[in-house]
Structure 1
Amino acid sequence: MGYTDYNTFLMFGDSITEYAFDQYCLSTDIDAPVQFTLGPALQNIYQRKLQIIQRGFSGYNSRDAVPLAKSILKTEHDNLPDSKKIKIAYMFFGTNDARLIGNSPLNNESMPLERFIPQMKEAVKEFTSRNIPLIVIAPGVHVAKDWDKSHPDDLITGDYRTNERNKLYQDTLKEIITDVPVLGLYDLMMDWINEKPNERSCSDLLCDGIHFSGKGYKLMFDALLETIKKHYPECHPDNLPYRFPYHADLKDDTFANID
């Protein structure tokens, strides 16, 4: 057994994936409270079982997901021995695609639904053609008043975002993508809020109106593990072998033949 021979868990998406290891919720204040984040949580629960690979790209959309999926899977899967291939993956795009198109020359994110869906289907096929267990994650909630504070120009140019659009893109993904499970974060987040509507709000789940707070990532983490348990139980951490012997079982010759 080679020391580096670990299968992998691929995190693939936009900025919500890119920032999934930021425990300060995008704050530059070193005294800001540390929050729960998805990346470290996955690393912890899959320790000595799978290696976590983070491939998140801020501002990217479904158009970019297709060529990236081809390239990432070629490098991180096709060109590797079975002992290092991707064991399971999630793909999370749509938050940028759902952005409305106004007249800003800087808006390279918005993607009409009639392009978003076939592009997502094509990206999904890159995984399914390789028999890689995949979970598609659909957009969550949006808080305009929080986002508009830091991006007031969006209101002027018309390149803003809405909950209605996020839900539309989520619902369409859930309807069209049927060969792999789709985790709809919008519905999940609204269900969480509606459990205690007088105590919870969308702002609790986001740090700036779009990107996730610790509570948002925790909700996503729990739902992701439940989805894995339901659809890909062989990839759930409870069902994966612990790599290398427990320390109490180590002997002088345990690693005599390690590569």
Structure 2
Amino acid sequence: MSTGKIPARTAWKKVLLIGDSLTQFGFSKEGSYAALLADYLQRKCDVISRGFSGYNTKWCQIILPEILKEFDPEDIAMATIFLGANDSNLPENKTQHVPLPDYKQDLKDMVDMMMTYGIPKERIVLIPPPACDEKAWKKFCLENDKLFTKCNLTAGKYADACLDAARECGTKSVDFYNSMMKREDWQDALCDGLHLSSAGSQLLFYLLRPVVDSLTSELPMIYPDWKDVDINNLTECLKP
């Protein structure tokens, strides 16, 4: 059950993106999947990014209830959970690593929080972590005095756990990791070995678009197309 005052409903539906740095950078030049969604949904939905660089599922499930309080659940056309890039660090990364069974359960708990708040499971989308180019990320870590604790095989196990969580919860999902790995040049989908490049953002948008269409195709364009505006009756024609 939600707590606190629920915001007044608006005509503009929302696409809410929850995640780590891959979501925080979602409007950047390289990691632009959120920007691509916003462009695709112009005058239908507001795309709202709540991404937190370096966060894992343990941390995000604590802040999720406060994030949800910002919105009327009836206004949420789609909500994504895109986590695992940090959880899947190897155990020597004691700050960010989350054991695989805990990661899966955390995702299920976050889905449950959303559903309890009033977002139907059919509007929730789980996105697995992407593949990791170990060579490129190790180079980045060495150059930036960061601990290198990533393994692409491990990332794949977390991606599978994410898809399993989606199946068990009855939510939607996209198979981002395996879609990357099927590409001959999959490393090009990453700008530094871990974060998305423009090519990776385009791939994620391509995977999300059918899901977005299924959830937003019936939504009207907000305000009429300019060619349909009655210039002799503007006040009536442009009523909200």
Letter in 1 for 2:134: A
Q: How far apart are 1:214 and its partner, in Å?
A: 0.5
* 1:5 matched to 2:11: yes
Which residue is equivalent to 2:151?
Answer: 162
Residues 115-150 of structure 1: CA deviation (Å, up to 9, x unaligned): 111111110112223134110001111011111112
Which residue is equivalent to 2:61?
Answer: 66
| Equivalenced residues, count | 225
Distance in 1 of aligned mates of 2:239 and 2:62: 37
Distance in 1 of aligned mates of 2:124 and 2:165: 15
2:228 corresponds, among 244, 249, 259, to: 249
> Structure 1 residues 95 and 247, CA, compared in 2 at 3 Å: closer, same or farther?
same
Residues 162-188 of structure 1: CA deviation (Å, up to 9, x unaligned): 111111111122223321022221111
Which residue is equivalent to 2:119?
Answer: 131
* 1:51 matched to 2:46: yes
Which residue is equivalent to 2:191?
Answer: 207
Distance in 1 of aligned mates of 2:210 and 2:83: 20
Query: Does the aligned pair in 2 maintain the 1:61–1:109 contact within 8 Å?
Result: yes
Query: Does the aligned pair in 1 maintain the 2:126–2:163 contact within 8 Å?
Result: no
Q: How far apart are 1:253 and its partner, in Å?
A: 3.2
Query: Does the aligned pair in 2 maintain the 1:140–1:184 contact within 8 Å?
Result: no
Q: How far apart are 1:226 and its partner, in Å?
A: 2.1
Superposed, which structure 2 residues align to 1:6-45 within 5 Å?
A: 6-23=12-29, 25=30, 37-45=32-40
TM value normalised by structure 1: 0.79
Query: Does the aligned pair in 2 maintain the 1:94–1:138 contact within 8 Å?
Result: yes
Q: How far apart are 1:74 and its partner, in Å?
A: 1.3
Which residue is equivalent to 2:211?
Answer: 227
Q: How far apart are 1:154 and its partner, in Å?
A: 10
Q: Could you list the runs of 5+ residues in structure 1 that have no partner in the other structure?
A: 26-35
Residues 85-122 of structure 1: CA deviation (Å, up to 9, x unaligned): 211111100110000121x6xx5211011211111111
Superposed, which structure 2 residues align to 1:69-88 within 5 Å?
A: 69-77=64-72, 82=74, 85-88=75-78
Letter in 2 for 1:5: A
Letter in 1 for 2:20: D
* 1:173 matched to 2:152: no
Which residue is equivalent to 1:31?
Answer: none
Which residue is equivalent to 1:184?
Answer: 175
2:82 corresponds, among 51, 72, 92, to: 92
Q: How far apart are 1:71 and its partner, in Å?
A: 1.1
Query: Does the aligned pair in 2 maintain the 1:148–1:154 contact within 8 Å?
Result: no
